Amino acid sequence: MPKDTVRAARNTLHRRKFIAITVIGLLLVSPVISLPLKALAQTTADPGSTPTVTHILVDQNLAETGDILITGLYDIPYTTLPALTADQTFIIRLMATDGTTELGSVTPFDFATFKNGYDQGVFSFYFPSGNAPIWGTAYIIQIAENPAQFDTPLTWNTTIPSSAYTTLTTQADNQTNLASQVYTLGSILQSTYSQTLFTTSGTSETLTSIGEQYFRAVINGLQTMAPALFVIQQNNLNYTDDTWTTAAFDTYMTRFNDTWVGAAMAATGNQFGMSGNMAMCLIFIVPLCVGCLIFSGMKFKTTDPGLVMASVTLEMGAVMGWLPTALFAIILQLMAMYIGYLLFFARS
C-alpha cells in the first residue's frame, strides 16, 4: 500500500477520535455547567409580602399647559435586602387599561439611606403636553420583577382610581397640590426611615438637603413644578414691553370731581383765573417745597436735604391731584438737569 494512502487513513482515524472525545467530554461537562447557569437565572428572592402602590395623585398643567404628572408611593417589602439594588431587580410601569400596553416605565431610585430602593419609596411618571395620556382614564400602575433576575417574574397591578385625578386646572393650584403631595409622601418616608426631609422656612415647609437629593431624583423637574418646596425660587423673567401712559395721573387729577372738595377747589381757582388743581398747587405744594429748601439751607447749610423733602412733597401733591401733569413733568426735568449740573459741572 502506498505511504500516502496509509498517512491519509491515519489522519482520518485521529480526527474521528478527537471528535468522539470532544463530544463525550461535552456530554459529561454539560450538567456541571448547567447547574450554575440555572442558579444564576434567579439571583433575587421574591418579596416577603405583596408589593403595593398607594397615595396616587395625577396633576396637570404643572410645567406647561396640558402636561401630566403621576406620583405615588410604592412598597416592595423585604425582611432581608437582596444583594442587588432595587433599580436592578424591579420595574415600575404605567400600563394601558388592557394591562399589556406599556405607556412608560421607571425603576426604583437606588438610595442607600432608604434601603437601596426597597420597602417604601416614591415614583413618578411625567408626560409633556404632546405625549400626555388621556385624562381620567383608569390606567394601571404595575410593579414587575426584572426578568433578568427572576426565573418566573411576578407582577402586581394597581388601577388608578378616578379620585386620583385632581379637579384643579390652573398652574398655580396644581403646583400647590403637588407640593402638598410631596409633603405627604415625605412625611411617610420620614417616619419609615427616621430621616428629616423637611424644614420650616418662614411660613412654609421646604426640603432639606437629603429631601432635595431624594425628591429631585424621583420627580424630575420638581423645582419647576413645585417651587414652594425650595428656599431658592426660580421665576421666569418677564420680557414684555411696558406701555407707559398718564392714566394713573389723570385719575389723580379728577380725584375730587363731584365732591364738595372739588367744588371748593374749582371756586378757589376761578377767583384767580386758573384751574382748581393749579390753585391748590400754588397755595399748598409750592410753599411747602420752598419752605423745605429754606429750612434745609438754614439748618444744614445745604439744600440737598430740602430737595429730597421737596421731591416727596411733589409726589404727594401729584397723588392728591394738586399738581398739574405738565407742571409736574417740568419740575422733574429741572431737577434732573440740576443733578446733572452737580455731578458734572459743579466744583467741589
The residues that bridge with 71 in the sheet, in sequence order, are 57, 124
Residue 104 vs residues 96, 181, 220: alpha-carbon distances, Å: 10, 21, 14
The residues that bridge with 52 in the sheet, in sequence order, are 75
Strands 90-95 and 68-76: unpaired
Confidence (pLDDT) at 27: 58
Confidence (pLDDT) at 121: 97
Query: What's the chain's length in residues?
Result: 348
Confidence (pLDDT) at 270: 93
Residue ranges of the chain whose pLDDT lies below 70: 1-42, 233-236, 347-348
Confidence (pLDDT) at 142: 98
Confidence (pLDDT) at 338: 83
Of 227, 200, 197, 217, the C-alpha closest to 209 is 197
SS3 56: strand
Distance CA 148, CA 187 (A): 34
Confidence (pLDDT) at 87: 96
Residue 139 amino acid letter: Y
Write the DSSP symbol of residue 221.
T
Count of alpha carbons within 13 angstroms of residue 125, beta-carbon side: 23
Distance CA 283, CA 76 (A): 82
In the chain, the percentage of residues whose pLDDT exceeds 90 is 65
pTM of the model: 0.60
Confidence (pLDDT) at 273: 92
Confidence (pLDDT) at 168: 97
Confidence (pLDDT) at 80: 94
Confidence (pLDDT) at 259: 93
24 burial type by CB count under 10 A (0-12 exposed, 13-18 middle, 19+ buried): exposed
Confidence (pLDDT) at 55: 98
Torsion of CA 129, 133, 138, 142, to 10 degrees: -110
